[in-house]
Amino acid sequence: MEQETMTVDFHVEVEKVRTWLITNRWVDQYDYWWKVGGVVSALQDFLARVQPQDWSEEDVTDLLYVLEQFSTDYIAELLTQNEPMALMIAKHSLARGGVASDEIADQLRHCTQHRDEAEALLIEFMQDKHERTRRLALLSLAEMKSVAVPALAVAAWDTGEEYPRMGALSALKIIESKLFPIYLSLAHEDGRERLVALARKYTDEPGQETRSSI
């Protein structure tokens, strides 16, 4: 009975956000995200009391809503705090057309104990309609040293768009692909500011962390 009460509290707090957004535009101006008894503390209590396999459809709806509306690293980390939870929220996101998919794709790289399942989910996220999700999924796959990365990176590059090309270049660098020098040269020739800046960074500082740059 106690679990049920806490679950209701979480849903009540989420509903307050929905109501607030009817007349307000910016969700980050909502005062009760971080206050005791507000959204975040209700979310913490809910996740501590309700196991992923016991989530209802309403639970999933509200969990994804909170992540999508207020995408801080902390919220994403809460919802992917262990591998079974991360895999479960990823499956629900994919089943619902990729809700909050970018944050989830970014976190799946940490699933070292369930690597094959996480890799399969990330490859599904590569079909997402959002470019950022596809890019983060590719980078997560690269950090997991997936054999799928070279082909996916080349496909991302071939879109001709700047951000996918940045993701492709970074992914090839992470896995130390033999293709990296080729695409580094192409990036220098591309001419677009962000991509050229990234290429110069990799040329000048080849050992520097890639994810923070894009």
pLDDT, tens digit only, all 214 positions of the chain: 344 444 448 999 999 999 988 898 887 778 878 887 789 999 999 999 999 999 999 999 999 999 998 867 889 999 999 999 999 999 999 999 998 899 999 999 999 999 999 999 999 999 999 999 999 999 999 999 999 999 999 999 999 999 999 999 999 999 999 999 999 999 999 999 999 999 999 998 755 444 444 5
CA distances from 5 to 11, 49, 117 (A): 10, 10, 33
Amino acid symbol at 198: L
35's CB contacts (< 8 A; 6+ apart) are 41
12 falls within a domain: no
Rounded to whole angstroms, how far apart are CA atoms 94 and 60?
Answer: 12
Phi, psi angles (nearest 5°) of residue 91 = -60, -40
178 falls within a domain: yes
CA distances from 80 to 66, 106, 118 (A): 13, 10, 12
Q: Which domain holds residue 179?
A: 148-214
186 falls within a domain: yes
31 falls within a domain: no
Amino acid symbol at 101: S
Rounded to whole angstroms, how far apart are CA atoms 55 and 61?
Answer: 10
183 falls within a domain: yes
The reported pTM is 0.87
99 falls within a domain: no
CA distances from 188 to 151, 164, 195, 199 (A): 21, 15, 8, 6
85 falls within a domain: no
Task: State the helix-helix crossing angle for 2-23 and 57-69, rounded to 10 degrees.
Answer: 40
23 falls within a domain: no
pLDDT digits (tens, 9 = 90+) for 26-79: 877 788 788 877 899 999 999 999 999 999 999 999 999 999 988 678 899 999
The pLDDT, as a whole number, for residue 60 is 96
* The total number of structural domains that make up the chain: 1
Amino acid symbol at 133: T
Is 202 in contact with 177 (CB distance < 8 Å)? no
